[in-house]
Amino acid sequence: MSRKDERKKKDAGKRQRILTYVCAALIALVVLLSAYIAFSLRESQRAQEQGEAYRELYYASPQAQTETLASPETSASPSPTPLPTATPAPSPTPTETPSGIMVEIDGRTIVLGTPDAGTIRVALPTLPPVDASFEPLLAENADIVGWLKVSDIIDLPVAQRDNEYYLSHGLDGEELSSGALFMDEANKLFPLDGNTLVYGHNMHDGSMFGRLSRYANARYLRENPIVEFATLYETGEYVPFAAFHASMEAEDEEYFEIRQLAFAMEDSFDLFIEQLRARSVYYVPIDVRYGDALLSLVTCSYEQDNGRFILVCRKIREGESREDVLERVKETRIHR
């Protein structure tokens, strides 16, 4: 065989090896891509199933819940005769002395100081009863603190823990790429802070806050002006008045600190509202006053690195005409 033929044979073998490597790489890529798609579909299905399960619990009628809890038996067996119980020993009666009140605890006498004119009395807030709609949800997950309904794109429970856990865990406590909606760890549940923050992932499949950015469109806002947010203790309707993209990088000119939860001074609140309106893609002609309750919905934005899309809403006040508010929303103007 001539050198020329040997060279051709070597070149052909080299091309064959390269082709084999390329085919192997493509096959590996297809396998990895298929595995990723299958994983994403499973995660999406899990998130959907969890949402549906909680919706069934939350929207179950009180009558259905009562029938579920009630015993289906029409006749009851006789109750056993209760066993006699020991009569508890009476607690020692506190004795008041000039220096204080003497009480006996575990055989020890303790003197408690008596309040006088200089004593500061602090009244602790009393929590109202938990709304019955949340009782079956709390039985599944004690972290549940509310429910968020936004037109036909969001209808999910809201949890509260630290600000990391529900980024990567579902409501069942298992790891889940879409996580769950959650309230800021520093927000009070009752009474609500001046600005309540709810976070959620911007999922490509539209779950969680995956479709929240529709509110960047003024037309969508006009057609879907009501956000419903219920907590364990109260229910409210909110109207969006600011929508914008922001950066979470402090050195970026698009940076905005949305995590302002309470406002001790009216001036600081007014400045916050002014900054929100200046950043918003549109102007909604509804007034926002000091003392109004705000609800800020925060999700990732793919328009910039470490970006966020933020929708800020104002609660409809008690006694305020809902119809008047909705009419004003129809006059929303786009910022040029």
Region 97-118 average pLDDT: 61
Region 254-274 average pLDDT: 96
61 pLDDT above the threshold of 60 = no
- Domain locations in the chain as residue ranges: 127-334
Task: Tell me what percent of the chain is helix, strand and coil, each rounded to the nearest 5.
Answer: 35, 25, 45
23 given a catalytic annotation: no
The region of weakest confidence among 38-52, 141-155, 228-242, 286-300 is 38-52
294 pLDDT above the threshold of 90 = yes
Q: Which residues contact 216 (CB under 8 A, 6 or more apart)?
A: 243, 245, 281, 309
Nearest to 248 by CA among 263, 236, 259: 259
202 pLDDT above the threshold of 70 = yes
Percent pLDDT > 90 in the chain is 61
Asked if residue 286 lies in contact with residue 314, where contact means CB atoms within 8 angstroms, the answer is yes
Which of 37-51, 119-133, 138-152, 240-254 shows the highest mean pLDDT?
A: 138-152
Per-residue confidence (pLDDT) for residue 46, from 0 to 100: 84
The region of weakest confidence among 59-73, 121-135, 177-191 is 59-73
The region of weakest confidence among 47-51, 159-163, 171-175 is 47-51
Q: In angstroms, rounded to a whole number, what is the distance separating the alpha carbons of residues 115 and 32?
A: 72
Per-residue confidence (pLDDT) for residue 280, from 0 to 100: 97
Which is the catalytic residue, given 169, 245, 300, 313?
A: 300
Q: In angstroms, rounded to a whole number, what is the distance separating the alpha carbons of residues 119 and 125?
A: 19
Region 222-234 average pLDDT: 97
Per-residue confidence (pLDDT) for residue 95, from 0 to 100: 59
Region 197-201 average pLDDT: 98
For the chain, the average pLDDT equals 84
- Find the DSSP H helices in the chain: 3-58, 62-69, 135-140, 165-168, 218-223, 266-279, 322-329
**Confidence at 174, pLDDT banded by 50, 70, 90:** very high
**Confidence at 130, pLDDT banded by 50, 70, 90:** very high
Per-residue confidence (pLDDT) for residue 66, from 0 to 100: 45
Q: Which residues contact 316 (CB under 8 A, 6 or more apart)?
A: 236, 237, 238, 239, 322, 325
127-334: CATH topology? Sortase; Chain: A; (2.40.260)
300 given a catalytic annotation: yes
Region 288-307 average pLDDT: 93
159 pLDDT above the threshold of 70 = yes
Which is the catalytic residue, given 169, 201, 245, 313?
A: 201
Higher pLDDT, 108 or 57: 57
Per-residue confidence (pLDDT) for residue 7, from 0 to 100: 74
Query: What DSSP string describes 256-290?
Result: --------SSHHHHHHHHHHHHHHSSEE------T
Per-residue confidence (pLDDT) for residue 31, from 0 to 100: 74
The region of weakest confidence among 47-61, 72-86, 252-266 is 72-86
